[in-house]
Structure 1
Amino acid sequence: MNVFVRIGLLCCLLFCVSVLSAQQKTLPPRPSQSSDTVRIVEILKTNRFDFRTIDSATQLQILVGDVHIRQGRTLFWADSVVYNEKTNFMQAYGNVHINDADSVNIYSQYMQYDGTKKLATFREKVKLSDGNSTLYTDEMDYDMNGKVGTYRNGGRIESKQTTLYSKEGFYYADIKDIYFVGNVKMSDPEVALASDSLLYNTSSQVATFIAPTTIKSGQSIINTREGYYDLKLKKAKFGSRSRMQDSTSTMIADDFAFDDKSGYGEAKGNVQYKDTAQGALLFANRVFFNKEKKNFLATEKPVMVVVQNKDSVFIAADTIYSGLMRDLAGMKNGYISAFDTLKGKQVINVDSILQNDSSNIMKDSSIVVTDSITIVQSKDTIAAVVEKPIIVAQKDSISNKPPPLKVKPVLVLSDSTKLPTVDSNAVAAIDSSTIKKIRPKEETDTLRFITAFRHVRIFNDSLQAVADSLFYSGVDSVFQLFHDPIAWSKGSQVSGDTIYIFTENKKPKRLYVFENGLLVQSVKESSSFFNQIKGRTINGYFINGELDFVKAKGTAESIYYAQDDDSAFVGMNRTTADMIDMYFKERSPQKVKFTSSVKGTTFPIRQLPEDQKKLSNFQWLENKRPKNKLELFL
């Protein structure tokens, strides 16, 4: 036999043996072109195996039925696989499943895989799960080296009760971070979120904000561009001038931190708060708040503004606390001890003083006009002007009669001399039963009270004040000032142990001072003359923000400078009585009335004893008076 024929038969025999051997084995031989086990693709199992040579560069292994493949620590499953051993490229079809290092499982209906670069592309019903959350998309690229998954045509993450959606996403399997980009939306039973970009960790369930973001939590809407929200612990922190608002209030600050479970939070850095329901503003550098109860404690130069159209009231103190009136009755030991941080300091019991003071209300019947007063009528009209002051004494006589004035004093009366009748309960501390009587429940749910401590200052165009501590009620619009308070109205100064300022439309309507009350009025800026009235209690009434009438009771004393028609000073009267009434017009006293146990002396203007010009405890404290609202912010 020809040697060439023998060689041909031998080759043919060897080929047939090799084909039969391949058909008997379940697994194909390993690729021999490389010893790199990271790049080697091992076919562990298949129901049918075909080997096809397309050309010299394309040799395909076709695996059909329950295909199981491994590369390094990555396992592949599919219904069928076409694998090019030479290019190390694989395509998988039907029920594709990849397990990457026992940490990530990826499912799809189609996959392309570059075994050399370890890059996979998944199509159709793609699902990635890391044990904490599941990613759903229609198309995703996955880098086995960096363990990074990328989708660019929309995808969503489901993590327990939280779902996040974005147009694009980048999943980092090693650290469990997902970077969402484009039309990001998050929904949770308690939180909803919308943003352009967001970083989310599936393990810790912390969402980190890196772009303008809107968050809805309960009734609150938060706008931020920096910070994080812990969906597991319901805690958050925001920066970059974030905004938090609900149906009745808005707060803006450099930084926020709060706990959604308890409702407590903290705002720092140029904090601005607005209560739209009550027309109140707050400015501070640090605010602690409860967004559920709508209360707050402000420190670091806080200023609160009770807003009105033309004449707002500005309140500054070291510490300001404000809450809803509905919660005030539930505070044990009262609001003073609840919020006053100064320990061991006695707080005056104002209720007992008010109950024992029977003269705190001025009634029309107490006005007495004596026969010495002349009523002047002109052109059938009665002028509402008091042209000259008159001193009226009752029961006792003044020890020394004043020198006769050059012009007979005349008092012209009108209805303006009548004083409003005020319920004596109006000055009592507000309790829960009073609140219910005054306001319906829906209003007490929004009405506020304000407490302020240490270095309290108040500025209003009509009235200014300083004190150690303050309480303001939204029910009756009363400012209660404690511990050496001083109040100023135009040219008048009032001081005492405690002062109540009753307001109407944010303007002073009535002023009540108890214990060591003293009213001082500068007669003339360039002189050292001061009209003064002193008593255990002082009641003052205002008309359009101007002091109209003052009543002092309880060992009352007064110093009064009399003037003639030319406004020249003619004498000074110093008198004591059980009760002293003083009437004003255009900031000047026009009538003084003394009641019971009257004793007094009048001194000629050129013979004034220096020791008689001032009542005991006299102080002119104009230097403490707030000059403008901007001063309160310093």
Structure 2
Amino acid sequence: MIGNVIVTQDTLTIYTDEGFYYGNERRTFSDKGVKLDDKKVILTATVGEYFFNEDKADFRRNVKLFDTISTLTSDRLLYFRREDRAIAFGNVKIADKENIIYADSLIHFRKVEESHGFGNINIKNKTNHSTILGGHMEDYRAKNYSLIDSLPLLIQIDTTFSGDTVKTIDTLLIKSKVMKAYRDTSNRFIAIDSVEILRGEFASKNDYTIYFRDEENIITNKTGDESAQPVLWFENSQLSGDSVKIFLKERQIQKIDIINNALIASYNENFRQRFDQISGDTIMLFFDSTGIKRNEVYSNVLSIYYLYDDQEPSGLMKASAQSSLMNFDQKKIISVKLFGTPNSEYHPETIIQGKEKEYFLPSFILFENRPEKEKLFTPQLQMNFSKGNQ
């Protein structure tokens, strides 16, 4: 059949400039450009076959599938009309008004708006400028929900405008074993198991993280009695507790709450073996644009602070109380107040020099392996990320 060929069956219409029809098999074939329209989707490609007995299309090269919600492109696509199911292979891309999904292969259920992607997953959200990479994903568009359960990595790039220039000012990386993304009113990401977080000078390791994008809040939790506490690193400080909540405003940390078994340890830049430490049931840290401004500790306060005279070591102070308040200026303590049966004890420099490891609080643990960008965002992941940002 040559010249403006049209094949119809019920609501199905196939268009091509030149094609073949095999009557015994009830099959059509064309390699001159094919268009399929079944009133549900429009499917085009350079090469196409249709099997009428199975109601199945097999389209190859420059494949595009259009429906009222999304557009899918790939190297090859199988379309099962009765099931409203499409299986796409090679350079797969599915896009709607909010998201673009890239994958090596993908199964798409059009009627229920559900997709399963495999290999080099890249989910790009146009609204919040986030990208999630992984090896396998499930996307439920009608529920505004995605699940990535193979090597997920969330990348959130914050930018600012200066004249006509877009400048990257910070990048949030969250890596875990399982990640869930909710694109509803809460606009939240949940990272589960072996979570690592990195953003500027802030880093964390924990088992469970919730990130509220719109509210700019990050919550990390201990998942069980035998589980490890969330650990955070910020500048020269290490923070840990059963639950840690980080509150941001315009991408800057405003407050950190450490709840239950809270501990902060900070080393001195010139004396790295000396850790100022404070523990309590709850610790609240308050920040402004210059850094930490205030530290409030509640219940069972224990502290060790090293003293300096003109930047030279001058002993330490051990203290206990029911609550405490510390004020800072330029990241240095300018005042300390203890409340509720306060007790303090000075240890001179001659006694503590060279014995700093003997002056740790009972709950102090020095955590290693702070997350690093080079390990989280590997060259292979960078290649996958760039695929969605060309």
Band of TM-score, shorter chain: 0.7 to 0.9
| SS in structure 1 at match of 2:376 | helix
| SS in structure 2 at match of 1:617 | coil
- Please list the CA deviations of residues 602-632 of structure 1 after superposition, one character each: whole Å capped at 9, or x if unmatched: 11122127676111110111x2310225435
Q: 1:493 aligns with which of 238, 241, 244?
A: 238
1:184 maps to what in 2? 34
Please report how far the alpha carbon of residue 206 of structure 1 lies from its aligned counterpart in structure 2 after TM superposition.
1.1
Normalising by the residue count of structure 1, what TM-score does the alignment of the two structures yield?
Answer: 0.55
Alignment of 1:214-613 (within 5 A): 214-309=64-159, 310-325=169-184, 444=185, 448-483=187-222, 484-524=229-269, 526-544=271-289, 546-565=291-310, 567-608=311-352, 613=359
Alignment of 1:143-162 (within 5 A): 151-162=1-12
Q: Does the C-alpha gap of structure 1 residues 558 and 510 become closer, same or farther in structure 2, counting only changes over 3 Å?
A: same
Bigger fraction of residues in strand: 2
Alignment of 1:96-135 (within 5 A): none
Please report how far the alpha carbon of residue 487 of structure 1 lies from its aligned counterpart in structure 2 after TM superposition.
0.8
Could you tell me which runs of 5 or more consecutive residues in structure 1 were left unpaired when the two chains were aligned: 1-150, 326-443
Q: Does the C-alpha gap of structure 1 residues 525 and 213 become closer, same or farther in structure 2, counting only changes over 3 Å?
A: farther
Q: Does the C-alpha gap of structure 1 residues 611 and 630 become closer, same or farther in structure 2, counting only changes over 3 Å?
A: closer
| SS in structure 1 at match of 2:53 | coil
Instruction: Report the AA paired with residue 258 of structure 1.
Output: H
Give, in whole Å, the separation in 1 of the partners of 2:128 and 2:216. 11
Give, in whole Å, the separation in 2 of the partners of 1:585 and 1:213. 62
Matched-pair contact (CA < 8 Å) for 1:489–1:546: no
Matched-pair contact (CA < 8 Å) for 1:463–1:508: no
1:129 maps to what in 2? none
- Please list the CA deviations of residues 436-462 of structure 1 after superposition, one character each: whole Å capped at 9, or x if unmatched: xxxxxxxx3xx5211111000000013
Matched-pair contact (CA < 8 Å) for 1:457–1:632: no
Please report how far the alpha carbon of residue 507 of structure 1 lies from its aligned counterpart in structure 2 after TM superposition.
3.0
| SS in structure 2 at match of 1:239 | strand
Q: Does the C-alpha gap of structure 1 residues 585 and 190 become closer, same or farther in structure 2, counting only changes over 3 Å?
A: farther
Q: Does the C-alpha gap of structure 1 residues 591 and 501 become closer, same or farther in structure 2, counting only changes over 3 Å?
A: same
Normalising by the residue count of structure 2, what TM-score does the alignment of the two structures yield?
Answer: 0.88
Higher-Rg structure is 1
2:164 maps to what in 1? none
Matched-pair contact (CA < 8 Å) for 2:153–2:174: yes
Please report how far the alpha carbon of residue 154 of structure 1 lies from its aligned counterpart in structure 2 after TM superposition.
1.1
Please report how far the alpha carbon of residue 188 of structure 1 lies from its aligned counterpart in structure 2 after TM superposition.
2.5
Matched-pair contact (CA < 8 Å) for 1:491–1:587: no
Matched-pair contact (CA < 8 Å) for 1:272–1:283: yes
Corresponding residue pairs, total:
362
Matched-pair contact (CA < 8 Å) for 2:192–2:207: yes
The reply to whether residue 620 of structure 1 matches residue 366 of structure 2 is yes
Give, in whole Å, the separation in 2 of the partners of 1:578 and 1:182. 82
Instruction: Report the AA paired with residue 551 of structure 1.
Output: E
Give, in whole Å, the separation in 1 of the partners of 2:288 and 2:74. 48
Matched-pair contact (CA < 8 Å) for 1:224–1:240: yes
- Please list the CA deviations of residues 508-550 of structure 1 after superposition, one character each: whole Å capped at 9, or x if unmatched: 2211110001011011365321011111111112223833322
1:424 maps to what in 2? none
The reply to whether residue 211 of structure 1 matches residue 70 of structure 2 is no
- Please list the CA deviations of residues 542-579 of structure 1 after superposition, one character each: whole Å capped at 9, or x if unmatched: 223833322111111111111112x0011201111121
Matched-pair contact (CA < 8 Å) for 1:295–1:324: yes
Give, in whole Å, the separation in 1 of the partners of 2:313 and 2:297. 24
Calculate the aligned-residue CA RMSD, in Å: 1.9
- Please list the CA deviations of residues 414-442 of structure 1 after superposition, one character each: whole Å capped at 9, or x if unmatched: xxxxxxxxxxxxxxxxxxxxxxxxxxxxx
Please, which moves more after superposition, 452-461 or 289-298? 289-298
Instruction: Report the AA paired with residue 311 of structure 1.
Output: D
Q: Does the C-alpha gap of structure 1 residues 585 and 159 become closer, same or farther in structure 2, counting only changes over 3 Å?
A: farther
Instruction: Report the AA paired with residue 359 of structure 2.
Output: K
Please report how far the alpha carbon of residue 218 of structure 1 lies from its aligned counterpart in structure 2 after TM superposition.
3.0
Give, in whole Å, the separation in 2 of the partners of 1:187 and 1:284. 33
Q: Does the C-alpha gap of structure 1 residues 469 and 629 become closer, same or farther in structure 2, counting only changes over 3 Å?
A: farther
Matched-pair contact (CA < 8 Å) for 2:285–2:296: yes
Matched-pair contact (CA < 8 Å) for 1:521–1:532: yes
Matched-pair contact (CA < 8 Å) for 1:466–1:624: no
Q: Does the C-alpha gap of structure 1 residues 616 and 632 become closer, same or farther in structure 2, counting only changes over 3 Å?
A: farther
1:8 maps to what in 2? none
| SS in structure 1 at match of 2:61 | coil
| SS in structure 1 at match of 2:158 | coil
Matched-pair contact (CA < 8 Å) for 2:104–2:120: yes
Give, in whole Å, the separation in 2 of the partners of 1:517 and 1:508. 19
Give, in whole Å, the separation in 2 of the partners of 1:632 and 1:617. 32
Instruction: Report the AA paired with residue 217 of structure 2.
Output: V
Matched-pair contact (CA < 8 Å) for 1:227–1:237: yes
